[in-house]
Amino acid sequence: MEKKGLIFDIKKFAVHDGPGIRSTVFFKGCPLRCLWCHNPEGISPSREVMAFSSRCLSGCRDCIAACPRGAIARNSRGIVLDRPRCDGCGACAEACPAEALQMAGRPVTSTEVMAELAKDEPFYRDSRGGVTFSGGEPLQQPAFLRELLERCRARKFHTAVDTSGHAPFAAFERILPLTDLFLFDLKIVDDRAHKRLTGVSNRLLLDNLRKLSRSGCALAIRVPLVPGCNDAAADLEQLAGFCAALPASHPVHLLPYHRGYGGKIKRLGLADRLPPTAPPAPEARRLAADIFSRRNLTVTIGG
């Protein structure tokens, strides 16, 4: 029987999620709660309402009438969502004439996803690109991910899996033969700091990274560079040392923090848990790259 999954986007013409021109499929659900998460709509494993308050039509009450759980009201500032009461049915978004309410998350079959990906096959072929599965955490939906990887392999699409690494290694073993490239996110080596920044221990993911490195698979390490979180020289030295000590050598990509997620957390009714933070300055990026380069690692800023 064909598998079904929950995604929140398919980004076309992606050029930073692996080689060439790619389509990136974003899965819903993530076990981490990173303070700087750039895709907060991918954290929850369930559908969620995103509210675009500037689009709301004054006097319109269509969403209130449509909500079967009475989770929407209006006050002097506009529409108010009672999110604990909301079950993500999407009736309000369907009723909204201005698209002020939209759903983050849509159930799809692998056939529906492959139909979208097939439209970009000429771009994959001409640029040596392909398909990247990201999120959220794609290994939160392992059966759906594997089926998509199998179908991409049948179409000879290059595949990449962008992962936090926080999953049983058995889940990685099931997709290893079908994955052309792993993009492995590595935040910080110190376990206590990792718990503070992401909500989970990093012991599982560090062990998984060692095992993946030992397997001989193609793998690139992606390190978010977040001022005040993991950009101290001591943290970067630990990260570089860990990468250099892996069984195989892997390229490292430093991903400078930016505040592109700000609008998303407001639309989801979430609090910004990260203190006001500016993107790392060019000099800070260069110094961070130098720390990795001194360990004879191939390092790139971005990508």
Tokens standing for residue 33: 């709660």
Superfamily of domain 4-44+106-301: Aldolase class I (3.20.20.70)
Q: Is the fold of 4-44+106-301 the same as that of 48-103?
A: no
DSSP 279: P
Positive or negative torsion for Cα 243, 178, 10, 128: positive
Contact 146, 184 (CB under 8 A): no
State the pLDDT at residue 261. Answer: 86
Q: What is the pLDDT of residue 77?
A: 77
* Among 15, 48, 52, 4, CA closest to 30: 48
Query: Do 66 and 172 contact (CB within 8 A), yes or no?
Result: no
**pLDDT tens-digit profile of 120-144?**
999 999 999 999 999 999 999 999 9
Cβ(73)–Cβ(61) under 8 Å?
no
According to CATH, what is the number of the domain 48-103?
3.30.70.20
Closest CA to 221 of 182, 189, 195, 166: 182
> How crowded is residue 136: how many other Cβ atoms within 10 Å of its Cβ?
29
**What residues does each domain of the chain span?**
4-44+106-301, 48-103
Task: Per-residue pLDDT tens, the chain, 303 aa: give them.
Answer: 788 999 999 999 999 999 999 999 999 999 999 999 999 999 999 999 999 988 999 889 999 999 999 999 988 777 899 999 999 999 999 999 999 999 999 999 999 999 999 999 999 999 999 999 999 999 999 999 999 999 999 999 999 999 999 999 999 999 999 999 999 999 999 999 999 999 999 999 999 999 999 999 999 999 999 999 999 999 999 999 999 999 999 999 999 999 888 899 999 999 999 988 999 999 999 999 999 999 999 999 987
Q: What CA–CA distances, in Å, run from 178 to 49, 56, 175, 217, 228?
A: 34, 45, 5, 11, 38
Q: Could you tell me which residues are beta bridge partners of residue 133? A: 25, 161
